[in-house]
Amino acid sequence: MIRPRSGFAVAVVVLLLVAQPAFALRAVAPPAEAELKATVEALTGPGMDGRRSGSAGGDLAAERIAEWLKAAGLQPGGERGSFFQSFVVTTATRVAPGTALAVNGRMLDLGRDWAPHGGSLRETVAGEVVFVGYGVSAPAAGYDDWAGVDVRDRVVLVLDGAPPHLPGVRASRLDKLIVARRAGARALLLVGDSLPTLGATAAAVRIVSATLTPAAADALLAPAGTNVARLAETIAQRRAPASAPLAGTRVEIRVALEVADRSAVNVIGILPGADPALAGEALVFGAHYDHLGLSNGAVYPGADDNASGTAVVVGLARAFAAAGPRARTLVFALFGAEELGLVGSGRYVKAPTIELSRTAAMLNFDMVGRLRDGKLTIGGVESGSTLRAVVNEAARTTGVSPSLRESPYGPSDHSQFYGAGAPVLFFHTGAHPDYHKPTDTADKIDAAGMARIAALGMAVGERLAGGARPAYVTLPRPQRDRPEPAVGARVFLGVGGAAGESDGLRLAQVVGGSGADKAGLREGDVLVRFGDTPLHGFDDLLTALKDHKPGDEVRVLYLRDGMDHETMATLGTRP
């Protein structure tokens, strides 16, 4: 059943009224190399800032793609007669009225002297202050700031980082918060050189927490006759903790935060079908247009991941629109928030332009810009009854020799379609050292290779746009998948990380049957430590994995709903 769309439903009715049982198909001219290159450059150019979903750069990319689809002559396939299908991508946090911090009755200036953490409990806490050094517990190094001090029901003051005489010891914000909560503290104040954003401290621990500037901390320490520099010097000289209650110092802190949804969009264009018997069915060409955005001042342009796939789908949309309707309706869907956990494609399959039960197949193009670095892989050829034969025939006519994979599973948007009952094909030129790094730039794209892939995708699409519909085939899920990029070590934990500002590593995917799955990890958990390594993102995990081998058991510290947990994970082998 076709969902009503403003403009689209009318177009289908008109086409059905005028179409004859047999109609002439005009030849489709595949996208040219120069066109594909220009699209990648536009999506990685000024203002795009890495196209993170929910950001200004992501919104700009969506608007530009919609303009391209409209200019090509496609019908809008989104909501309320637009090209956009919206969804909530993140829940942003902001400071609410009433947030305050007072030291001995004197109010500190919010935003200048201090800032609450985005993951703090929303509570009011008052109590005496205990200085606990760097908040580090490192028994193996013979050092423990928490030993011999009672912090129960008190406010803890700690310095950022770790003692300078222990260069091998690292302690993250989350490490300090977890130890403070376990010790019974009611709040933790972290002394840092700069005040972080709420997003950068969004990982939740069930304790009230905030960051103070050194100047604000000095004001807090003044009644005790000391300051930050003196305490840090004492620890360095003694090479031992200097933890102690701060006589005459009392703090009252109230953290009030409120949340607001941050939205992103899929961009959807439609070429209505012309065959009365098949126009109610869809062939979907898809790619995600989002990437990682900005991080620590660096732009992650995502030229291959996935401006390349977006360029191919936009190029195919232009080519098919110029040639005119095919038998089936063609849907060109550019998804947002793939990097945040396949959010955009998940939204589409719940509210598709044409029901998934009437979708002949979904062709997904993700990272198709490095053909010169390896062979083209097409996954999912056994997910539909005729897909392998269709791909082989199209490959012979275009001169491209892809490596075919049976499995339709994988960490990209096609998996959402397959899980909802549609056959899929996944076009991919492989991982590389620039994956998820600022070095994934447009100058490294193989535009000639992209043109060959686009020609193959067009030939496959031509065959699937008419004739018998492939029958959906249920295939067993493999024991392991590949969310971690296939660069370097073969050791495998089995998780995919969500891109974000916050510390820790928030899991966007846990592969069934993997070591992470068997250890009880779930999507949404925040990994804090992998063995002895604090994690601040996915790169930290990849680095830590290089020091291990398959079969190793590693202790993992993680957060779930603000509570910390530990588990043992057995590492496997990357397939």
Domains in the chain: boundaries: 8-92+260-464, 98-255, 491-573
Q: Does residue 86 have a pLDDT over 50?
A: yes
Domain 8-92+260-464 sits in CATH at 3.40.630.10
SS3 content of the chain, % helix, strand, coil (to 5): 30, 25, 45
Q: Does residue 391 have a pLDDT over 90?
A: yes
Backbone angles phi, psi at 34, to 5 degrees: -65, -40
Please give the CATH topology (third level) of the domain spanning 98-255: Glucose Oxidase; domain 1 (3.50.30)
Burial class (CB in 10 A: 0-12, 13-18, 19+), 204: buried
Q: Tell me what pLDDT residue 9 has.
A: 40
Summarised one tens digit per residue, pLDDT across range 413-428 is: 999 999 999 999 999 9
Site of tokens 């305490």: 231
Short-list 17, 40, 10, 113, CA closest to 314: 40
Site of tokens 């009503």: 4
State the Cα–Cα distance between residues 174 and 177, nearest whole angstrom: 5
Q: Tell me what pLDDT residue 435 has.
A: 93
> pLDDT-derived band of residue 374, with 50, 70 and 90 as boundaries?
low
State the Cα–Cα distance between residues 400 and 311, nearest whole angstrom: 19
DSSP H or E segment with residue 158? strand 155-159
Write the CB contacts of 450 (distance below 8 Å, at least 6 apart in sequence): 33, 36, 37, 40, 308, 311, 312, 368, 369, 371
State the Cα–Cα distance between residues 376 and 457, nearest whole angstrom: 12
Q: Does residue 480 have a pLDDT over 50?
A: no
Taking residues 281-308, what's their average pLDDT?
95
In sign, the C-alpha dihedral spanning 541, 542, 543, 546 is positive
Q: Residue 421's CB: how many other CB atoms inside 10 A?
A: 13
The one-letter code for the residue type at 46 is P
How far is CA 261 from its chain centroid? 17
How far is CA 487 from its chain centroid? 19
∠ CA 452-456-458, rounded to 5°: 115
Taking residues 218-234, what's their average pLDDT?
95
> pLDDT-derived band of residue 3, with 50, 70 and 90 as boundaries?
very low
State the Cα–Cα distance between residues 10 and 213, nearest whole angstrom: 62
Q: Tell me what pLDDT residue 481 has.
A: 40
Q: What CATH homologous superfamily does 491-573 map to?
A: PDZ domain (2.30.42.10)
Q: Does residue 2 have a pLDDT over 50?
A: no
Summarised one tens digit per residue, pLDDT across range 228-249 is: 999 999 999 999 999 999 988 9
> pLDDT-derived band of residue 478, with 50, 70 and 90 as boundaries?
confident
Backbone angles phi, psi at 344, to 5 degrees: -65, -45
Short-list 355, 356, 327, CA closest to 16: 327
Q: Tell me what pLDDT residue 372 has.
A: 77
Please state, rounded to an integer, the average pLDDT across all residues of the chain: 91
DSSP H or E segment with residue 62? helix 56-72
Q: Does residue 50 have a pLDDT over 90?
A: yes
